[in-house]
Every structure is written in C-alpha cells, then in structure tokens.
C-alpha cells in the first residue's frame, strides 16, 4: 500500500503517471536470484514485459540475462550492457535486418520458431562467415490454463515448431553448416498461477529431449520459458513464490550432466512494482450505473481493453489515513477513462468509498505490460513516470 508520504507527494504531481517502487523491484529480483541459485538455473528477463531503463538497469545489476523478441530489444540489451552471452532472441517473425544485427552482436542464442527460419539464419550467418547458435522452440501442446489470448503452447497457436514437423527440422539442422544446435526451447503462455501446469510441461520437455538425443543431437540447453503469474487480486502479497516454482523443474525435469536449465521470466519479476496513478475528472451517477471518469485511459493501460484483464483499483485518497474522512459509504462504480472507445474501461462494479472529483486512484500491478504498451491514440501526451524516493 501507499504511505501518507507517498500520497502527499502524489498530490503535487501531474497525473496520470506510472509509479515504480524500486525497492520492491529489488527485493523481488533478489528473491528470484536466490531461489534460482539453489539449482544453478539461468534466468533471462523477458524484456517485452517492461523496458523502462531504470528497471532494466536493476535487472542487469542482478546478473540476469535478456530474453528479446525484437531487434530493438536485442539492441537495447546490448546498449545497456547485458552480457551478450546471456542474450537470447525469440519471435516468430525475425526480419533479415534483425537477424543480421543479432549476428553482429554475437548473442548467445536464437530461439528458432520455424523450419524456414533455420534456413534464413543459416544463409545470413554464412554471408557473415559466422556460425549462429540456435535452440528449437517446440510447441508442446500443453494447456497453460490461462486467458485464451495469452496462451502460446497449443497446436492452434502461431508459436514454435509443431511435433509433426520435427523430423524435417532435424534434417534441416544437419544440412545447415552455419548453425550450431545447442538446445530446445518452450514457452506455453503467460500469467500461469497453477504450478501443476509446469509438471505437464516437464513431461513434454523430457520427451522431446529424448527424441533429439535418440537422433544423435547433443542438448546443452533446456529452455523452459517463463509465464509465472502474479496475484492481481492481492497486490500487497507482492513477491511470487520463486522457490516453489523452481522446485517444480528441479523435481520433474530430467537434466543430464552438463546440461543447463534456462528460464525467461518477465511479469513475475516486474508486475507488482508499479501502479498507474490517476485523478478523478468526473463522477457520473445514474439509475443503473455510477461512473468514475479518470484522466488515465486505455492509452496508458491497454490490458483491460485488450483482454479484459483484472487490476485491483484503490481510491488512495480515501484509503489512506492521510484523509480522515471515513464517513462515506462504499459505492459500486464503473471505472473508465477519457478515450473515445467503449472498451476504455478499467473495471465494472468496482466497490470503492464514495468518490469525488480530484480523488487519486491507484490501478495496481501494472509493472508488466503497462507502460510498454502505452500509446498516443487520440493524440494523448506520453504518460509520465515517477520513481520511489531514494531509489
């Protein structure tokens, strides 16, 4: 929650803005690093979750690598000083330019998502006189039991190479002299909170690793992706249980001697460290609906409009002891933004203390896929960013 000092500071600032609690971020990173070290697991931060520079600097200082899904992310990771030997490049649509740039950076690995892509990387590496390290991203057809729009590991998804194409994939690998096959890669979805899902993934990883070994391929890297979720309903329970998460893979993954296990965590590392702070512009009360209209909209936080994502919403002007007026009764509001779209809604029937123009609203757990997805639609100004003091 926010302190009286936070609220006093927020009242002096122009809204809307993203507020980053860098101390919480640091504690979360430390907890993850400590839990991974027990098993000598390797963690790459999924940069798509949040590429705020202050955030990235904290992550780099922790010693994590970078998981990139665009040439821009690869270039940013290298620019900020991430170890090139810890930079991986995934994505179903890598352009020739992006591949060439990554080859010039001598990154650790390309996570390859189609047989055709293998040929393209091989040819581009040949023209540069280089050998590219590659891991094959396999679609394991494992249901992540998450929102349909953020599943990535089912047969119906565009990601990865399907099991029925692996024989052709293996033949292509044998023909490509400028590729070095180092491992297999998986990522089944995002915001996964049922850890049993990862047991199913481990079973599939074990099967595919054996399949490649039976055909003479040496596997150095087992990259199991990420997807570990956070508790959006209880954001003050802030740090995920990384110990339980990593222990699943320690128990159920069959790791050969000299094999490395890699992870690509994003949301779990940064999701809880930020809130979107907004001011109430207007309150519209009606017979059927009460509306709170904020100065933040879907241009600042796209997730609710994009896939009906839940974020806890607090009226921090009323929740804090900074404001001693506790006589108002709770009212149910639809909390909406100013954008000219009906989907510009953060929450329906949200129970809050009676709210007034000028109150400060905190939309919680916005550290992942918040600031990075902001847009200038409606010619909105770029959203501001504020960091915790002393950080």
What is the distance between the alpha carbons of residues 62 and 82, in angstroms, rounded to a whole number? Answer: 11
* pLDDT exceeds cutoff 80 at 339: yes
* pLDDT exceeds cutoff 70 at 254: yes
What pLDDT was estimated at residue 323?
52
* Domain residue extents for the chain: 4-17+272-387, 22-271
- The tokens describing 345, both together, are 């809604």
Question: Which residue's entry shows tokens 């907004």?
Answer: 278
Question: Which residue's entry shows tokens 């740039």?
Answer: 101
The arithmetic mean of pLDDT across residues 193-212, rounded, is 94
What is the band of 354 on the pLDDT scale with cuts at 50, 70, 90? very high
Q: Which of 311, 386, 375, 378 is nearest to 347 (CA)?
A: 311
Q: Are 347 and 304 in contact (CB under 8 A)?
A: yes
* pLDDT, tens digit, 9 for 90 and up, residues 34-70: 999 999 999 999 999 999 999 999 999 999 999 999 9
Given this structure, which CATH class describes domain 4-17+272-387?
mainly beta
Query: What is the reported pTM?
Result: 0.92
* pLDDT, tens digit, 9 for 90 and up, residues 112-141: 999 999 999 999 999 999 999 999 999 887
* pLDDT exceeds cutoff 80 at 321: no
Q: Are 273 and 24 in contact (CB under 8 A)?
A: yes
Q: Are 341 and 298 in contact (CB under 8 A)?
A: yes
Q: Are 319 and 353 in contact (CB under 8 A)?
A: yes
What pLDDT was estimated at residue 125?
98
* 55-59, 207-211, 283-287, 291-295, range with the lowest pLDDT: 283-287
What is the band of 168 on the pLDDT scale with cuts at 50, 70, 90? very high
What is the band of 148 on the pLDDT scale with cuts at 50, 70, 90? very low
Q: Phi and psi for 381 in degrees, rounded to 5?
A: -70, 150
* pLDDT exceeds cutoff 70 at 155: no
What is the band of 328 on the pLDDT scale with cuts at 50, 70, 90? low
Q: Write the DSSP symbol of residue 251.
A: H
Averaged confidence pLDDT in the chain: 92
* pLDDT exceeds cutoff 50 at 144: no
* pLDDT, tens digit, 9 for 90 and up, residues 226-240: 999 999 999 997 899
- Residue with more model confidence, 144 or 330: 330
Q: Which CATH architecture has domain 22-271?
A: Alpha-Beta Barrel (3.20)
The arithmetic mean of pLDDT across residues 263-267, rounded, is 98
């Amino acid at each position: 929650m926010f302190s009286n000092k936070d609220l006093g500071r927020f009242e002096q600032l122009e809204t809307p803005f993203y507020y980053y609690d860098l101390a919480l971020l640091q504690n979360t990173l430390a907890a993850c690093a400590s839990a991974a070290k027990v098993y000598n697991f390797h963690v790459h931060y999924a940069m798509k979750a949040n590429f705020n520079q202050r955030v990235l600097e904290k992550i780099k200082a922790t010693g994590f690598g970078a998981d990139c899904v665009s040439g821009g992310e690869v270039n940013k990771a290298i620019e900020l000083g991430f170890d090139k030997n810890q930079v991986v490049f995934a994505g179903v649509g890598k352009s020739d330019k992006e591949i060439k740039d990554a080859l010039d950076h001598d990154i650790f690995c390309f996570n390859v998502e189609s047989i055709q892509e293998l040929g393209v990387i091989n040819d581009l590496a040949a023209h540069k006189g280089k050998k590219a390290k590659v891991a094959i991203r396999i679609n394991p057809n494992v249901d992540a039991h998450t929102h349909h729009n953020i599943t990535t590991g089912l047969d119906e998804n565009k990601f990865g190479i399907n099991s029925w194409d692996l024989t052709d994939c293996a033949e292509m690998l044998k023909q490509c002299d400028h590729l070095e096959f180092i491992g297999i890669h998986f990522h089944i979805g995002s915001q996964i909170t049922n850890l049993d899902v990862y047991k199913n993934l481990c079973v599939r990883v074990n099967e595919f690793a054996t399949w490649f070994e039976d055909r003479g391929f040496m596997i150095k890297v087992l990259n199991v992706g990420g997807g570990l979720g956070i508790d959006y309903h209880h954001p003050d329970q802030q740090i995920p249980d990384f110990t339980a998460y990593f222990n699943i893979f320690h128990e159920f993954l069959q790791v050969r001697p000299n094999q490395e296990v890699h992870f690509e965590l994003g949301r779990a590392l940064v999701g809880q460290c930020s809130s979107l702070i907004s001011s109430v512009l207007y309150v519209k009360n009606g017979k059927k609906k009460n509306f709170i209209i904020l100065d933040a909209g879907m241009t600042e936080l796209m997730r609710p409009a994009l896939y009906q994502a839940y974020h806890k919403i607090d009226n921090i002007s009323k929740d804090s002891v900074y404001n001693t007026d506790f006589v108002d009764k709770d009212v149910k509001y639809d909390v909406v933004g100013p954008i000219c779209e009906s989907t510009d809604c953060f929450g329906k029937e949200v129970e809050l203390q009676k709210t007034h123009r000028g109150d400060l609203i905190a939309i919680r757990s916005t550290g992942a896929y918040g600031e990075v997805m902001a847009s200038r639609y409606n010619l909105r100004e770029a959203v501001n960013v504020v960091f915790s003091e002393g950080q």
